[in-house]
Amino acid sequence: MIRTMGILFSSMLFAVCYSLGSIAAESNKSKRIIVANAGFMTPESIEYYAAEDVYLVSNLNGDGLTADGNGFISKVHPDGRIIKLKWLDGTTKGVSLNSPKGLAIQGNNLYVADINEVHIFDLPSGKQKTSINISNSTFLNGITPGTGDFVYVTDSGLKAGKDSLAASGTDAIYKVLANGKYELLYKNKQMGHPNGIIAQGKRLTVVTFGSGEVFSIDAHGKRHNLVKPPKGDLDGLIKLADGRLIMSSWAGSALYILNKDNSYSILADGLDAPADLGFDSKRQRVLIPLFKQDKLVFLQL
């Protein structure tokens, strides 16, 4: 059962240290495992790899737009131990990773959104199969499995600005197939910088980082707006088995739940820049990368 909760710090914390990280679990109603001091470099997305019962974490290791070839993906044990910090390393021959963001597993493939490319890696070997360049895209970000041998990916429509990121006008959603082909499904420069995305059949649900909106797109390409959460800068999005949505908000430093009655509850707050969410279906646990703090939070439901 999910209950509304905030941060309730206890004076009693217990910590277990490992060679590459420290882990602390807070003694409160919603037990958190925090993985810190582990070597993460701007972690953006966490994906649960059920076949090995591990978490995969994308690390930008730089800004979100530079093709610097030094991005990496970490492999982490569910108890927080670092199995291999740079399991896939952009500096290694045969591996292309610049600024990896969203991760999605479909079949035996790991898909990675990276600036204007989607990389595909074999699982469990980690060998790179291909990189698919998405023409006219600028900031591929959220990614989710489809119902076949393909994924959906958002282009947040961002580029380098004078002092920070600026709109590029390429806001879009693409369907990317394992065979290297792709197709444009929806494009609108007024989309609000789409980020997190989930699919249920041919219906897509999206949250936006710029406008702070939640909407769905049906099989005919028609947009349907959902109720906006209390605060915006929305990043990650997951759907629970009962149909409720959980989304992360940078502006709110929180995770929000969209309930069946269209009301919102706060699942957790005090989270600095919570990015693309993952879900551990075995442990019923929300996986949260803290983008600015180089930390991970595992939140028990």
Domain membership flag for residue 82: yes
Domain membership flag for residue 2: no
pLDDT digits (tens, 9 = 90+) for 205-219: 999 999 999 999 999
Q: Buried b / exposed e across 4-23, counting CB within 10 Å, b at 16+?
A: ebeeeeeeeeeeeeeebbeb
**Which two tokens mark 104?**
């999605």
3-class SS of residue 232: coil
pLDDT digits (tens, 9 = 90+) for 260-278: 999 999 999 999 999 999 9
Position 164 scores a pLDDT of 84
Q: Which amino acid is at 225?
A: N
Position 30 scores a pLDDT of 56
pLDDT digits (tens, 9 = 90+) for 83-131: 999 999 999 999 999 999 999 999 999 999 999 999 999 999 999 999 9
Domain membership flag for residue 4: no
Give the Å distances, CA to CA, from 113 to 67, 127, 223.
13, 16, 23
Domain membership flag for residue 3: no
Give the Å distances, CA to CA, from 226 to 172, 204, 207, 229, 239.
18, 12, 10, 9, 14
Looking at the predicted structure, is the pLDDT value of residue 29 above 90?
no
Looking at the predicted structure, is the pLDDT value of residue 50 above 50?
yes
Domain membership flag for residue 5: no
Domain membership flag for residue 202: yes
136: Cβ contacts below 8 Å, ≥ 6 apart: 170
Kindly report the pTM of this predicted structure. 0.90
Domain membership flag for residue 243: yes
Q: Which amino acid is at 100?
A: P
126: Cβ contacts below 8 Å, ≥ 6 apart: 87, 88, 110
Domain that holds residue 49: 14-300
Position 18 scores a pLDDT of 32
State the total domains in the chain.
1
Question: Residue 69's Cα: distance from chain center in Å?
Answer: 20
CATH number, position 132? 2.120.10.30
Long-range contacts of 204-209 (CB under 8 A, 24+ apart): 204/152, 204/173, 205/237, 205/239, 205/245, 206/142, 206/154, 206/173, 206/237, 207/234, 207/235, 207/236, 207/237, 207/247, 208/232, 208/234, 209/156, 209/233, 209/234, 209/235, 209/250
Position 161 scores a pLDDT of 87
Cβ–Cβ under 8 Å, residues 151 and 141: no
**Distance, CA of 224 to CA of 144 (rounded, Å):** 19
Mean pLDDT of 30-57: 95
Mean pLDDT of 246-270: 97
The region that residue 284 occupies, defined by phi over 0 for left and psi between -120 and 50 for alpha, beta otherwise, is left
Least confident among 12-21, 180-189, 192-201: 12-21
CA count, 13 A, side-chain hemisphere, 208? 23
